[in-house]
Amino acid sequence: MAILNKIRQKTVVLILVIALALFAFILSSLFDNKDALFNKSPDVVATINGKDISRQEFMAQVDDRNNPNATQSQIMNQVYDIEVRKAVMESQFNQLGLTVGREQMRDLLKKTYANSPQFLNADGIFDESLLNQYILDLKKSNSQNGFYNRWIQQENAAASSALQQNYINMIKAASTATLAEGELEHKLQSEQVDIKYVSIPFTTIADSTIEVSKSEITSYINKNKKKYEVEASTDLQYVKFENIPSLEDENAIKAELNDFIKGTEIYNETTKETEKTPGFAEMNTEDAIALANAESDGAVKFQDRFLFASSFAEGVRDNIVKLNVGEVYGPYKEGTSYKITKLLETEQSYDSLKVRHILIPFKDSLSTNPNVVKTELEAKKTADSILSIIRKDKSKFAGLVSMSSDQGSIAKEGVYDWHASGTMVEEFNEFEITKNIGDLGVVKTQFGFHVMELLDRKSKKPSYKVATIERVIEPSVETENEVFRTATNFEVELEKQDFQDAAKANTLEVNPVTTIKELDENIPGVGPLRSLVRWTFEDGSKVGDVKRFETTDGYIVAQITAKNEAGLMNTEDASVTALPEIRKQKKAKLIMDRISATTIEDVAAAENQTVKTAPAINMKNPTIPGAGSEPLVVGTAFGLDEGQTSRLITGVKGVYMVQVTKKTPAVELENYQSFANQVATEKASSINTRLYNALKEASEIEDYRAKTVQ
């Protein structure tokens, strides 16, 4: 009871103690999670001028950009660059109150889709009502496929592009040049000096004779900080363990293909007898094709077309074309595969065909742009109308090609130049080989309706239809398991042994990699490996840490060798560019200190050099014939009077002394407007490349990609 009474008397103190304890607990959690305390929410990819780019919207755009030729990180970086540009430019639009009005939006859409076949009427003229109906149809069907949302995104992108162009045009309009600038431009181009000069190249002093200390490099770095500022980076070293097929793996593949050729024996549990399956050579054409499609590893299975001898690899070509129909050649090695090939049929085929076409797609045709709205019947009517026009006047063919959806042939007026028979889809090819030169027609394929004309074809030659079973040479499961065990054992060895020593003991090549940045993806010699890059930048990782990573073709075991903080480049890395500059400064001083002569001839004699001449030098292009670009030397020459000699000048490639032998002033003009126009044009052209970079540099950009999306 006495204790309880004391607690009641100290209630305020007790509450305060509990509150402090809770506060300490919260602070501890925050400091344990520094990202939560000091960084943005994990739902924010970046902040540009105070505007957040949300992770959800960012990843939605990444998902929309499905590109099989780019990695996920590359797509993310592309989207990031687009979003940064958009945000940087929008901050300017908002300050100026720039918008895209309804009428301008209509003009933009009309300009964008003016040549899209689905928005052209029967006369081949853009019809705005077709575009409006298309947008209305998208809006009605949006709940099913989301096409309307994509259309809105396209409109927004078009509006953003238009705003950017409007903004750039405004800046260009303000970037004029005065007559005074025109007069200066005229002088820079027209004023000339003739000089004679002597140069003592820096190469006359060997680099090995110039000592440069680390402190001098450090001092140079500090004087040129902007040049040597670097992002945070890491260095590592790694060894590779590749899944390479063994000789046993290759022999097993060849044995399997030989079994296909000969056929195999299978015990039938029902009949209690051993039955032999027919071999590839014994099979009829239909069964051989079925076996090739079922058993071939190649991405492309049986191709139902005739091939010329040139289509076969040079090393096996003669063996295949000499086969009798039904015979099999192989197994033979081609690239990274073993193959067996059966000759099914031969014929005489056209070696080269030449046609032109106009493709009119419809909604359900293959590879159709989602903007196509024509039904099959409407597309057929359009194709027939085009054919009718061309039949009356073939000269109109080229002009009507703009209606074609085959973008690859539009630039060539619809022409598919010389190609072999069987190259095109079946219906297209049938027209090419059966019609007479000059014939016109409409052909339906899986891509739509083709308005076609056969332009020319050349003589026939032997062709071959074959069925091929291909087996890619890959490591077996046993080989892959052995590679995994070897990599794991090496990783374990590193717990007790130095990385370099362990690699040497196992005859493994050590691959060093320097200056890996936080958003990098590719590791030289390995390829994309974001997991490794992320590991090197984790808060808990430290120099000396080792880890095994799976790659596309095996494993690597990597060790972190350095973690470099953001700031100035270290002395060793900076020396690559700093050393030559410091040596050049020291060489210039040595040369100047040893020269006491005051005339060009005396300097040339003392330094065993020759006096050279250079006529008609101007300031616009400060280049000296025989010496190259030397702005400081040329500028010094223009500051001298005729007959005057300069002091020693430190140039780009050496130390110079010049004498002006003649000065030709620029002719005075009554008006300098043409030169002012030149300056204005140069300014305007530079805006396209420099404006955005200047705005971006002036913006406040916080990049959180490394923490939130990669």
Tokens read off for 605: 């004699």
- The strand pair at 654-664 and 701-703 is best described as unpaired
333-340 mean pLDDT: 94
Going by C-alpha positions, the residue among 461, 450, 459 that lies closest to residue 403 is 450
Which phi and psi angles does 653 have, rounded to 5°? -110, -5
Residues 393 and 374 in one domain: yes
Find out whether 659 and 649 touch, Cβ atoms under 8 Å.
no
| Bridge partner residues of 450 (DSSP) | 359, 443
Residues 306 and 377 in one domain: no
Find out whether 400 and 386 touch, Cβ atoms under 8 Å.
yes
Which phi and psi angles does 431 have, rounded to 5°? -65, -40
For the chain, first and last CA: distance in Å? 61
Find out whether 40 and 704 touch, Cβ atoms under 8 Å.
yes
pLDDT band at 299 (very low <50, low <70, confident <90, very high): low
pLDDT at residue 447 tops 70: yes
Please give the pLDDT value at position 36: 44
Which residues, in sequence order, are CB contacts of 156 under 8 Å at separation 6+? none
Does residue 584 sit within a domain? yes
Burial (CB count <10 Å: 0-12, 13-18, 19+), residue 659: buried
- C-alpha angle 311-69-554 in degrees, rounded to nearest 5: 90
**Quick one: residue 703, left, alpha or beta (phi over 0 = left, psi -120 to 50 = alpha)?**
beta
Query: Tell me, what DSSP letter sits at residue 437?
Result: T
Going by C-alpha positions, the residue among 496, 493, 533, 498 that lies closest to residue 513 is 533
pLDDT band at 14 (very low <50, low <70, confident <90, very high): very low
Tokens read off for 200: 């003592």
Please give the pLDDT value at position 140: 76
Neighbours of 567 (CB within 10 A): 12
Neighbours of 194 (CB within 10 A): 17
Residues 50 and 163 in one domain: yes
Boundary of a domain, candidates 544, 565, 586: 565
pLDDT at residue 25 tops 80: no
Going by C-alpha positions, the residue among 77, 41, 44 that lies closest to residue 62 is 77
Residue pLDDT, tens place only, 598-639 = 999 999 999 999 999 999 999 999 999 989 999 999 999 999
Residue pLDDT, tens place only, 459-505 = 888 999 999 999 999 999 999 999 999 999 999 999 999 999 999 99
Going by C-alpha positions, the residue among 342, 348, 244, 239 that lies closest to residue 293 is 342
Q: How far apart are CA 167 and CA 605, in angstroms?
A: 61
Residues 252 and 293 in one domain: yes
Amino acid identity for residue 279 in this structure = G
Q: How far apart are CA 410 and CA 356, in angstroms?
A: 10
Query: Tell me, what DSSP letter sits at residue 120?
Result: B
Helix, strand, or coil here: 129? Answer: helix
More confident: 114 or 298:
114
- The strand pair at 265-268 and 233-242 is best described as unpaired
Number of domain units in the chain: 6
Instruction: State which of 71-75, 115-119, 433-437, 447-451 shows the largest mean pLDDT.
Output: 447-451
Does residue 49 sit within a domain? yes
Residue pLDDT, tens place only, 175-214 = 889 999 999 999 999 999 999 999 999 999 999 999 999 9
Boundary of a domain, candidates 325, 349, 373: 349
Does residue 364 sit within a domain? yes
Residues 430 and 359 in one domain: yes
Please give the pLDDT value at position 590: 96
- Give me the percent of the chain exceeding a pLDDT of 70: 92
Does residue 669 sit within a domain? no
Does residue 673 sit within a domain? no
Please give the residue range of the domain that contains residue 272: 247-349
Cα 339 to Cα 58, 300, 473, distances in angstroms: 46, 13, 10
Please give the pLDDT value at position 34: 46
Boundary of a domain, candidates 395, 427, 458: 458
Please give the pLDDT value at position 578: 95
Residues 553 and 575 in one domain: no
- C-alpha angle 547-552-553 in degrees, rounded to nearest 5: 90
> Given the structure tokens 């005065």, which residue do they identify?
178
CATH number at residue 507: 3.10.50.40
Provide the CA 141 distance to its chain's centre, in angstroms.
Answer: 36
Please give the pLDDT value at position 240: 97
Q: What is the pTM of this model?
A: 0.66
Residues 268 and 339 in one domain: yes
Find out whether 205 and 590 touch, Cβ atoms under 8 Å.
yes
Residues 618 and 587 in one domain: yes
Please give the pLDDT value at position 408: 83
Does residue 82 sit within a domain? yes
- C-alpha angle 453-454-457 in degrees, rounded to nearest 5: 165
How high is the mean pLDDT of the chain? 88
Q: How far apart are CA 657 and CA 645, in angstroms?
A: 7
Residues 76 and 155 in one domain: yes
Residue pLDDT, tens place only, 377-409 = 989 999 999 999 999 999 999 989 988 988 888
Please give the pLDDT value at position 254: 96
Express the helix, strand and coil content of the chain in percent, nearest 5 each: 50, 25, 30
pLDDT at residue 273 tops 90: no
Residues 342 and 383 in one domain: no
Please give the pLDDT value at position 124: 73
Please give the pLDDT value at position 33: 46
CATH number at residue 224: 3.10.50
Does residue 680 sit within a domain? no
Residue pLDDT, tens place only, 362-374 = 988 886 676 677 8
Cα 571 to Cα 207, 220, 581, distances in angstroms: 19, 10, 14
Residues 501 and 615 in one domain: no
Tokens read off for 317: 């070509």
Cα 496 to Cα 488, 507, 541, 546, 612, distances in angstroms: 14, 18, 19, 12, 68
Find out whether 416 and 355 touch, Cβ atoms under 8 Å.
yes
Residues 576 and 549 in one domain: no
Burial (CB count <10 Å: 0-12, 13-18, 19+), residue 608: exposed
pLDDT at residue 151 tops 90: no
Does residue 677 sit within a domain? no
> Which of 65-69, 103-107, 662-666 comes out lowest in average pLDDT?
65-69
Sign of the CA dihedral running 122, 124, 128, 134: positive
Going by C-alpha positions, the residue among 127, 103, 105, 132 that lies closest to residue 116 is 127
pLDDT at residue 704 tops 60: yes
Which residues, in sequence order, are CB contacts of 494 under 8 Å at separation 6+? 502, 546, 557, 559
Whether omega for the bond prior to residue 331 falls within 30 degrees of 0, making it cis, is yes
pLDDT at residue 671 tops 50: yes
Q: How far apart are CA 358 and CA 442, in angstroms?
A: 9
